[in-house]
Structure 1
Amino acid sequence: MPTESINGRGATRNVTPTRFNLKARAADGDWLDQVEALDGVQPRQTTVTIERPRTILTRNNSPDIGFDRSVNPYRGCEHGCIYCFARPTHAYHDLSPGVDFESRLFVKPDAAALLHQALAKPGYECAPIALGTNTDPYQPIEERWRITRSIIELLAEHKHPFTITTKSDRVLRDLDVLKPVAALGLVAVAISVTSLDPATSRILEPRAPAGRKRIAAIRRLNAEGVPCHVAIAPVIPQVTDHELESIVEAAAEAGARGGFYLPVRLPHEVAPLFRDWLKEHFPDRAGKVMSVIRQMRGGRDNDPNFFSRMRGQGVWADLLRTRFEKAAQRYGLPPAKFPLRRDLFEPPQGDQLRLL
């Protein structure tokens, strides 16, 4: 029921996930059927729920991903990016991948303590830990909860390599931690830039910092000695793909160490949400956008297969790749590489985090 205003959110509606046999509420004559008429449409507020997981390291063996472990301090993301492939994870909480994903957030305040336990286990083998692989570690609630901060402080203390992927310039807050570990070759950052047009960003990723702020963050990080790359991810055909060359140029001029791009992915419930978003904001080209996406995805809304899911296929995917490669060559942007040291790792001693 549309009982809450979703102004300022990315998704245009909530959807009930059907993969887990959840049922949408049907009108049954009780007071809930009249709540909008009685109370009016209420502003949707962001809520935060504390989550107490037993472990924090997530492992993966995907052959097309350059890391095998990650840490996600938060579930859900207030940035509200309509294309976010992590949206379906909210269905596991009986919540919608739509507006709920942007406004019903979960935090893991024990993340650093759990990571400490994982690093201290006998036989632990050091390899880079990726932050920001599911939801953004520097989304707005990080300002208060500082969970990402506590994680990178722990990793820095034990000289453990890690990467950060974000679309927020809030990462600059932690330069005091990042600079020393960068000098040791232990960290690399990738900042996602999807558009430099404020009007596009406002509807595409409504609560994320503007693209120009992210370019400025790339410049500042590299000037401070923290290697930072640009991730043009995702590229949306007929919506943001015309900006590909200008983003490459801006990132290269800002000193980005390297860059890469990814075509948009629409897994599970993301596809219908994205279709509704197109109808709302780009009704003149909604059909064209989905047609090109399907051509890049083997005739489907989404291609889940390894490797091709990251590159796309067909004429449109080839065109994107050629454009990116030519732009990168023209502006001097090398391929993104993350060579991080593993030999400096010092395992934690004991079961407790150090107080001082």
Structure 2
Amino acid sequence: MQNTDPFSPRCRKARGALSNAAGRFDLTREAQDDGWWQEAPDPSVATEIRNELARSLISYNRSPDLPFDRSINPYRGCEHGCVYCFARPSHAYLGLSPGLDFETRLVARSNAAEVLRKELSARSYKVATLAIGTNTDPYQPCERDHLLMRQCLEVLQAFNHPVAIVTKGTLIERDIDILTDMARRGLVRVGISVTTLDANLSRRMEPRAPVPARRLATIRRLSAAGVPVRIMTSPLVPGLTDHELEALLAAGQDAGADAASWIMLRLPREVSQLWQDWLHEHAPDRAAKVMARLREMHGGRDYDPRWGHRMRGEGEYAEMIARRFRLACKRLGLAERTAPLRTDLFAKPLQPGDQLSLFS
């Protein structure tokens, strides 16, 4: 694959991807020296955020290996820059690169809460748990200024709508007031992703995400506030982080998590090359082993997208990880499955101009 990265290593400091190759729907990009280059400090790759008015927000899926059938994403792209992120290929649909563009050229769906309220108010809407954070993190750094996730949570709270949140962002602590209120009514569950306890490895692999110890502190704070939390050892990287599985689960349980889950590293489409480039720069001694393990679990390919296989892989190694996970959860008292969130409380709040019920 031709390297079309126009940025020097200094430019992409604190970024995950090492390249910015064109997306599969875009024209090929190639850096050219026009003769005007001068010795000067390289500017860092700045984060750009543009607003988008969403026409719809709730996305539905029929995937049999997912525990939810609907989700929302207030943002497109994610500044955390996790190099392994399986959502990177979605940026190609915007005419942007799944590489550096994914973590530097973001889209904020500024009317997300308004559209969500409208969709939940539709006569045809049937309530079920809504997932947030399954594609891009709702608590990435830009949420501090845009407040889109908090606004959506306020809508869900008003409708008594169940929600499952996945994040690495400690900014979720800002919304403990809403989460605690919803937790009392059995309407919320949070999953905190902790991929490694090694702060140095985390800094290189997920450069703008909070350090592991800080994420564990978030589990502790949420749990203390009465919000049920799952520790997610995802993705588990064979030959790089797999040896930490039991330690990760123990750390999560010690912080107050009551449940746990795991997913094997997934490398769909452009993510495979981005990941392999990262391996050769940051862990060259492990690169061959990591990729051999992954291909062993996916029939010789970097990734197998089939339902029932894409999350865990298959074969002896995948089965061994599954056994280790089950045994550790049993020993630590961590649930693999949790009770469903309540849907019976769902109600559409009165809007200005609505007529009061005669029997309310």
**Shorter-chain TM-score tier:** over 0.9
Match of 1:44 in 2: 45
Report the residue type matching 1:313 in the other structure: E
Give 3-state SS (helix, strand or coil) of 2:316's partner: helix
Contact preservation (8 Å) 1:2, 1:41: no
CA distance in structure 2 between the partners assigned to 1:166 and 1:183 by the alignment: 21
What are the equivalent positions in structure 2 for 1:313-352 lying under 5 Å apart? 313-350=314-351
CA distance 1:158–1:23, change in 2 (3 Å): same
Report the residue type matching 1:11 in the other structure: A
Match of 1:9 in 2: 15
CA distance in structure 2 between the partners assigned to 1:350 and 1:68 by the alignment: 27
What are the equivalent positions in structure 2 for 1:251-290 lying under 5 Å apart? 251-290=252-291
Contact preservation (8 Å) 1:120, 1:349: no
Match of 2:225 in 1: 224
CA distance in structure 1 between the partners assigned to 2:319 and 2:353 by the alignment: 52
CA distance 1:45–1:224, change in 2 (3 Å): same
Match of 1:142 in 2: 143
Extract unaligned runs of 5+ from structure 1: none
> Deviation per CA, 1:249-292, whole angstroms, max 9, x where unpaired?
11111221100100000000000000000000011121111010
For the aligned residue pairs, the C-alpha RMSD in angstroms reads: 1.8
Contact preservation (8 Å) 1:195, 1:211: yes
Which of structure 1's runs of 4+ aligned residues deviate more than 6 A?
none
Give 3-state SS (helix, strand or coil) of 1:309's partner: coil
Match of 2:201 in 1: 200
What are the equivalent positions in structure 2 for 1:118-157 lying under 5 Å apart? 118-157=119-158
CA distance 1:159–1:195, change in 2 (3 Å): same
Q: Report the TM-score when normalising by structure 2.
A: 0.93
More deviation, 344-353/194-203: 344-353
Q: Offset of 1:123 from its aligned partner?
A: 1.8
CA distance in structure 2 between the partners assigned to 1:351 and 1:304 by the alignment: 47
Contact preservation (8 Å) 1:59, 1:69: yes
Match of 2:95 in 1: 94
Q: Report the TM-score when normalising by structure 1.
A: 0.94
CA distance in structure 1 between the partners assigned to 2:320 and 2:120 by the alignment: 44
CA distance in structure 1 between the partners assigned to 2:322 and 2:344 by the alignment: 35
Q: Offset of 1:23 from its aligned partner?
A: 2.2
Q: Offset of 1:22 from its aligned partner?
A: 2.5
Q: Which structure would you say has the larger RCO, counting Cα contacts within 8 Å and 6 or more residues apart?
A: 1
**Matched residues, number:** 348
CA distance in structure 2 between the partners assigned to 1:36 and 1:158 by the alignment: 57
Identity %: 47
Q: Offset of 1:87 from its aligned partner?
A: 0.4
CA distance in structure 2 between the partners assigned to 1:15 and 1:352 by the alignment: 52
